[in-house]
Amino acid sequence: MNQKKLHVLFICGWYPSRVLPTNGDFIERHAQAVAKQHKVSVIHLITDKKIKKDIELSTKVINEIETHIAYLKEVKNPIKKIYLFHKAFSLLLKKVSVFDIVHLNELFPFGIFSLYLKWFKKKPFIISEHWTAYKHPLSNKISFIQKTISKIIAKNASFICPVSNDLASSMQSLDLKGNYKRVPNVVNTNLFFPDHKKNEIFTITHVSNMNDKHKNVKGLLHVIAKLEVENIDFKFNIIGKNSIKYLKYANKLGLDSKKIKFMNQIPHTEIAKELRNSNLFVLFSNYENLPCVILESFSCGLPVISTNVGGISEYFPDNFGKLIIKNDEEKLKEEILNFYNKKNNVATKDEMHTYVKSLFSEQAIANNFTNLYYKTLSI
């Protein structure tokens, strides 16, 4: 059985589309990793405010993955919305050839489709989960109905694969019982690799979704302002969708415009280049699971300073950077200065890259999922 190439159906609550081009790109990378060993088809449904007809279907082969996306008309009536989602799923499912197993991404609400396929089509499923909202106190906003349905979905999954043990604990605290097996995010180690050239100016980089409540961007800018008082020669790159919205705040703090560069959302290939051309990556988040960008930084041989939140510490070797308490601006400034003055014992770039390749490469992640697929089908 371990010799058989499987057809895996990815059902995705998040996935890149024309509406949100980078939404769920970490799921896309999981799919691409699995596609190295198996046939993969993707089903994704998303509301598109720009369309006038109820449902518009799109089927494309992207990076060897059959990608089936249904764009749904925005409707306010919840009954009609449920009807449209059900109809769209049925239409997309007809486009998918016979498959062996379902790989669900985002437990609720798309897990309802997985339940249907298990109960009526005899197709087992596993779950990958990334959602930070399972963590307290964000979990307080999850409704009773969602919790109840989620428990049924979790119970029926062969395996539940959160990206970190911390996320697994958060899910289990909500009584989402199941067979948990941690499978982390994937890194394209062929794209994210070290460059051994030296930068003329010490360069600090931050990449995020620019959500201040989540990423504490303003707190990070406070620290950059404090660094300027230290009279050191550095550059700070802030990269993410609409990062320029923080320009006014940076001006308010009196930041030197020559030292800070605001960059809009850029392709993954460009992010890799920016990381290779940096001396330090900084993430000052209030909460996280397992940010891909930290692993990508390691893969480029770039040390990281991050707040010790979520599952970050589970994959953060001591000599790869520093973990600090969230909101501790003085400690962040101190650690940046330590790296600037080369006071820290840091692993070599090649050691960092090798670490990432062994645990997070497409090959490593595909092997993890393949083992779980075979175990599921042998039950």
Per-residue pLDDT reduced to its tens digit, 207-245: 999 999 999 999 999 999 999 999 899 999 999 999 999
Q: Mean pLDDT across the stretch 145-163?
A: 97
Per the listing, tokens 């620290």 go with: 223
Average pLDDT over residues 8-31: 96
pLDDT (average), residues 189-218: 95
Q: CA-to-CA distance for 304 and 223, rounded, in angstroms?
A: 16
Q: Domains of the chain, with CATH numbers?
A: 7-186+361-378 (3.40.50.2000), 202-358 (3.40.50.2000)
What does pLDDT average to over the chain? 96
- Take residue 58 and report the two structure tokens written for it: 């799109």
| Residue 146 pLDDT greater than 80, yes or no | yes
| Claim: this prediction has a pTM higher than 0.85 | yes
| Other beta carbons within 10 Å of 119 | 10
Please write the tens of the pLDDT for every residue from 291-341: 999 999 999 999 999 999 999 999 999 999 999 999 999 999 999 999 999
The confidence score (pLDDT) of residue 231 equals: 84
Mean pLDDT of 241-258: 95
* DSSP character at residue 61: E
Q: Where does residue 278 rank: exposed (0-12), middle (13-18), buried (19+ CB within 10 A)? A: buried
The rounded distance, in Å, linking the Cα atoms of 157 and 180 is 10
Contact residues for 121 (Cβ-Cβ < 8 A; gap 6+): none
Tokens at 147, concatenated: 């919790």
Of the chain, the percentage scoring pLDDT greater than 90 comes to 96
Residue 110, pLDDT above cutoff 50? yes
**Residue 136 binned pLDDT confidence (cut-offs 50, 70, 90):** confident
Mean pLDDT of 179-188: 97
Q: What is the dihedral of CA 48, 8, 112, 156, to 10 degrees?
A: -160
Beta-strand pair 304-307/280-283: parallel
Q: What is the pLDDT of residue 1?
A: 44
